Amino acid sequence: DARVTQTPRHKVTEMGQEVTMRCQPILGHNTVFWYRQTMMQGLELLAYFRNRAPLDDSGMPKDRFSAEMPDATLATLKIQPSEPRDSAVYFCASGLGKRISDTQYFGPGTRLTVL
C-alpha cells in the first residue's frame, strides 16, 4: 500500500529555531506539492516540484522558507528562522501527472508549533 510519508508528525520549537520537514513521495511519482493548513487561511499551496525541479513557489514566504528535492525520494521544507505565525499543519502530496489538476496523494502532515 504505497503512501506519502512525512516526518516528523509533530514538532514543537522555539521562535528563531530552524525547522526542517521531510517528505517521501510515493515511489515513481514525479510531482511533489507542499501545502500549509491553518484555521485562519485554510489550505494553501506553498510550492511544487516536477521531476525535482521547482515549478512554482509563489505561495511561499521567500525570506524564511525554502523547499528542495535533493533526490527523487526526498523533499524538504525548511523554515529559518521560525516564527509563531508559522504554526500550522504542513502537508506534502505527490502525483504522477503533468498538471496540478491530476490526482494528488497526501501525506499525514506535520503539525508545527512555534512558541
Contact positions vs other proteins (CB under 8 A): 42-45, 55-56, 89, 91, 93, 99-101, 103-109, 111
For the bound state, the minimum distance from the C-beta of residue 85 to other proteins, rounded and expressed in Å, comes to: 19
Residue 96 or residue 100: which is nearer to other proteins going by CB?
100
Nearest Cα neighbor of 23 from 47, 4, 40, 38 is 4
For the bound state, the minimum distance from the C-beta of residue 107 to other proteins, rounded and expressed in Å, comes to: 8
For the bound state, the minimum distance from the C-beta of residue 16 to other proteins, rounded and expressed in Å, comes to: 27
Non-local (6+) Cβ contacts of 95 within 8 A are 29, 30, 31, 33, 102, 103, 104, 105
